[in-house]
Chains A and B, each alone.
Chain A
Amino acid sequence: MDTADLPFLTVTELQRRLRARELTPREVVDTLAARIEAVDPAIHAYLSTDLDQARRDADAADVSLPLGGVPIAIKDVISVAGQPCGCASHILDGYVAPYDATCIARLRAAGAIPFGRLNMDEFAMGSSTENSSKGATLNPWDTTRVPGGSSGGSAASVAARTAFASLGTDTGGSIRQPAALCGVVGLKPSYGRISRYGLVAFASSLDQVGPFTKTVEDAARLLGVMSGLDPHDSTTLDAPVPDYAALLTGDIKGLKLGLPKEYFISGIDPQVEAAVRAAVDHYTKLGAEIVEVSLPHTEYAVAVYYIVATAEASANLARFDGVRYGHRARDTSGLLDFYGKTRAEGFGPEVKRRIILGTYVLSSGYHDAYYLQAQKVRTLIRKDFEDAFQTVDALICPTSPVPAFKLGEHTQNPLAMYLQDIFTIAANLAGVCGVSLPCGFAQVDGKDLPIGLQLLGPSFDEARLLQIAHAYEQTTDWHTRRPS
């Protein structure tokens, strides 16, 4: 049969054809493999693939399962048994995960096939995927530009149609920002919705796994499969998992959307602002009520984030010491020298910067002034959201202040890079859910660069959030455009 349009299908349509026996799972894997071979060298979203295993899995696939026979590409920070899990870092060179993360086990149980490792900023630290020790990933819309990060490979693979869907992780915007910059749907579920077991921790109180997809409906399907209480992760919540996809009615009449005034600041790219304002107007036409709200502690979010996240990271990354797995320095003398050289050789500059910062803010004498203070402000930020969600069903704002920037544009200025996440970080600090979806294009240097619309919803109310996103998507066509 003709498989030319196959890579462009949504997960939902792919499944329909698989179930109708118009396609076999084997054909899907073969077609995807060919697509990756043809397209990925120009994008470098993939670090590795295991297509032989994927073909075996495809041959055994049960297409009646919720994701039966659907190949899914995985960010290099999530453990898949038998596959490398290197976090795009030299320090994990040679490490192969001996176990499945809970989200992977659930995808497998639903019939999905995890087959490839996607590039990222080393240990998910960055907003451009340039911090990968395996080389940068390029934006499929303009290969002189970054795909965003840290889940750059996850966003770029879906945008380049080298993946039907992918998994990423979001600690401060690492799903939503690259989704915006690559023009795909990126969902960060509420903290505690999807198990973190098997996700290599960057900042444990902020990290969440989430899907990258072409449509909101696909995101809803993946979320439903992966969500729920996990006895291996005590931060997961025992809350019911609704049938998210079934709740996408398209009707949002009477819902209230909040426009946080702190998110429409000077410095925001005019084309981005115009696109987001147009989306707000579109929602009015769909019957939603728009009200201005305030999240007064927003200005502290980036500072709080870089204290909390780095503090947790300094402990989380301590285990990478060359003793049990991964890179090990040669010719060392004594234990301290062994640790020092192994970690000096294994970690890249951004990771080292954050470990040092995190170690500093936890040090005796500084702990109270930084770490403790940051935790207090974090509580205020969380309360900002709780207060706002007393009056509105969701918040609407830009995902990123700018469209995709040039490779190398911010690499010499870490602070400028940190500001890429200015609109996404607070959601992680508050634990709420968020989604980025395409809402237009900016014309820059004769290229169309995607713009992302961010919707933020109350914790564990992904159903409402996706419903709101879906209503927009179904009445616009931004999501149907793809890079040439």
Chain B
Amino acid sequence: MKYLTTIGLEVHVQLKTRSKMFCACAVEYGAGPNAHTCPTCLGLPGALPVMNQHALELTTLTGLMLDCAIAPYCKFDRKNYFYPDMPKNYQISQYDLPICVGGAVPLHDLAYPKDAQKSIATPDKKVGLVRIHLEEDVAKSFHYDTSTGVDFNRAGTPLMEIVTEPEIGSPEEAFAFLSSLRQILLYGGVSDADMEKGQLRCDCNVSVRPEGQAEFGSKIEIKNMNTVSGVRKALAYEVQRQTAELEGGRKLQQETRRWDDASAQTFLMRTKENAHDYRYFPDPDLMPVRTETLVTTARAGMPELPSAKRARFVDQYGVSGYDAAVLADDQDLSAYFEAAAAKAAKPKAIVNWVLNDLLSAVSSAGKGMRECPLPPQALTELVDLIDAGKISGKQGKEVFAEMFGSGKGAATIVKEKGLEQLSDTGTLEALVDQVIAANPKPVADFKAGNPAPLNFLKGQVMKLSKGQANPVVTSEILQRKLTAGEGPGGV
């Protein structure tokens, strides 16, 4: 029997704010334990939360980028449960009036895992969203042999939760969803979305059902995944496990599981009977938020989205769809390309240099695009020199390597190395005349009808010009002079 997979994700995104959600403490990864704490984020008696406006703005911006409806007003609620990483033993979150409702994330081909890009089930799929809301993160626990330490630096940092519709059909689509979402978040400057730093985490809900069955299978939740590839692996494992259970004639129960990366398996955490009753109610310490001005602010800060950028690159610069996608995949790369292409005589010529020579040079230097030592204008200058026939393509590679290493401009290097091609016909004609005069025998041979000496003569011109003669122009002049029989020793 064939089985259908249904996946929904709850993605937690750490917002790029300077201070925490409800206090003025700095948001900084890697500081000493409890370095960034105050009465509010430690949950001391009497301390109160105060809203971080920037977090509201970033969430609104995310909503606009993902085509959500922005609620005219939203409120914050207390979600009650006890755990040592929750200083107040309630989390301030949003229950029934989130900031953003609906929306979608478009999946693009390059966002799929490399090995799955050739077999995309639904090209140009959009995954619908249920909502986006804002809440505070919890502290981090460190378990030792006989004790547990809690670091409250992360406690109270702004966390945006994005909840999808159950519309993801495979682990590969889940992967593509997260990559596509991450790209948009980076575009908006909403989050650094660095999964290693826990800035992007997700809970996965997955169920399988026999084809033809209308209602979804039992929902299994996998908690707290923090790598995109881990999400794919855990989901693939769950799909296979659940399918095997159903095929074995067993029933699945709604439950929460935990992914163990080392053993590549999921383990049961709790069943539905042990689910929390969070007893949500509006936080009386915070006023409801009207979103009108937030929307105005966010709209003014809307970036060009990845899909729009890809389309524009094809239109504006005539690059291929694939190249546009590769460029747009990385904001630094696309910014570099645009800066280089903007003033280039032939922008299309820039793209090959950026995607091949530059990318490999940057990566073999162990750098990111942001640290690229070669300014975009320098690349434009080089490509224009080649385009204009001032230097050959081969010389261009040599100049590029030198530029990348020394940071000198292309023209300077060309001059220093004396690489500039001779294209000036007056000078070249003089050289050609010189060569014809000095080589009567090959000239006579050529005139007798043997074409072979032409290359020899061309080589002599090149030699005389120390390799700088433009080969194309040189050939033209030689041929003209020889066939016309107008050599200096001629009739």
Say if the beta carbon of B32 comes within 8 Å of chain A: no
Q: Please classify the interface of chain A as helix (H, G, I), strand (E, B), loop, or mixed, using the class held by over half of its residues.
A: loop
Say if the beta carbon of B212 comes within 8 Å of chain A: no
Say if the beta carbon of B268 comes within 8 Å of chain A: no
Given A318-B89, A362-B80, A364-B277: A312 touches B284 (CB 8 Å cut-off): yes
Say if the beta carbon of A311 comes within 8 Å of chain B: yes
Given A99-B39, A204-B285, A312-B284: A321 touches B45 (CB 8 Å cut-off): no
Query: Contact: A87 with B45, CB < 8 Å?
Result: yes
Contact pattern, A 352-369, Cβ under 8 Å of B = 1, otherwise 0: 000000010011100100
**Count class of interface residues, chain B:** 20 to 34
Nearest chain A CB to B127's CB is how many angstroms away?
30
Query: Contact: B281 with A324, CB < 8 Å?
Result: no
Say if the beta carbon of B317 comes within 8 Å of chain A: no
Say if the beta carbon of A408 comes within 8 Å of chain B: no
Interface residues of B in 17-70 (CB under 8 A from A): 39, 42-51
Contact pick for B277, options A97, A101, A363, CB 8 Å: A363
Interface residues of B in 287-301 (CB under 8 A from A): 287
Query: Contact: A319 with B45, CB < 8 Å?
Result: yes
Contact pick for B46, options A198, A314, A315, CB 8 Å: A198
A201 to B46, CA, bound (A): 6
Given A92-B45, A101-B46, A321-B82: A311 touches B88 (CB 8 Å cut-off): no
Query: Contact: B48 with A318, CB < 8 Å?
Result: no
Given A196-B48, A232-B48, A234-B287: A323 touches B90 (CB 8 Å cut-off): no
**Inter-chain contact total with CB atoms closer than 8 Å:** 97
Say if the beta carbon of B78 comes within 8 Å of chain A: yes
Query: Contact: B284 with A204, CB < 8 Å?
Result: yes
Query: Contact: A318 with B45, CB < 8 Å?
Result: no
Given A200-B45, A321-B89, A323-B150: A315 touches B281 (CB 8 Å cut-off): yes
Say if the beta carbon of A235 comes within 8 Å of chain B: yes
Query: Contact: A311 with B150, CB < 8 Å?
Result: no
A371 to B49, CA, bound (A): 23
Query: Contact: B48 with A233, CB < 8 Å?
Result: yes
Say if the beta carbon of B158 comes within 8 Å of chain A: no
Query: Contact: B279 with A234, CB < 8 Å?
Result: no
CB neighbours of B47 from chain A (8 A): 99, 197-198
Say if the beta carbon of B393 comes within 8 Å of chain A: no
A321 to B150, CA, bound (A): 14
Query: Contact: A315 with B78, CB < 8 Å?
Result: yes
Say if the beta carbon of A231 comes within 8 Å of chain B: yes
CB neighbours of B283 from chain A (8 A): 204
Q: Which residue of A lies closest to B90 (CB)?
A: A315
Say if the beta carbon of B347 comes within 8 Å of chain A: no
A78 to B46, CA, bound (A): 8
Say if the beta carbon of B84 comes within 8 Å of chain A: yes
Q: Which residue of B lies closest to A320 (CB)?
A: B45
Contact pick for B279, options A198, A201, A323, A367, CB 8 Å: A367
Interface residues of B in 258-298 (CB under 8 A from A): 277, 279-281, 283-287
CB neighbours of B287 from chain A (8 A): 234-235
A319 to B279, CA, bound (A): 16
Nearest chain A CB to B254's CB is how many angstroms away?
16
Q: Which residue of B lies closest to A233 (CB)?
A: B48
Nearest chain A CB to B24's CB is how many angstroms away?
9
Say if the beta carbon of A483 comes within 8 Å of chain B: no
Query: Contact: A197 with B88, CB < 8 Å?
Result: no
Query: Contact: B281 with A199, CB < 8 Å?
Result: no
Query: Contact: A98 with B39, CB < 8 Å?
Result: yes
CB neighbours of B44 from chain A (8 A): 97-99, 324-325
CB neighbours of A415 from chain B (8 A): none
| 16 A-B pairs (CB sep. < 8 Å) | A85-B45, A196-B48, A197-B46, A197-B48, A200-B46, A205-B284, A232-B48, A233-B50, A234-B48, A312-B281, A315-B281, A319-B87, A339-B82, A362-B279, A363-B279, A364-B277
4 tightest Cβ-Cβ pairs between the two chains A and B: A318-B89, A205-B284, A362-B279, A204-B284
Contacts A101-B46, A321-B89 known; list 4 others, CB within 8 Å.
Answer: A203-B284, A234-B285, A319-B87, A367-B279
Binding site for B on A (CB under 8 A): 78-79, 85, 87, 92, 95, 97-99, 101, 196-201, 203-205, 231-235, 311-312, 314-315, 318-321, 323-325, 335, 339, 359, 362-364, 367, 371
Binding site for A on B (CB under 8 A): 39, 42-51, 78, 80, 82, 84, 87-90, 150, 277, 279-281, 283-287
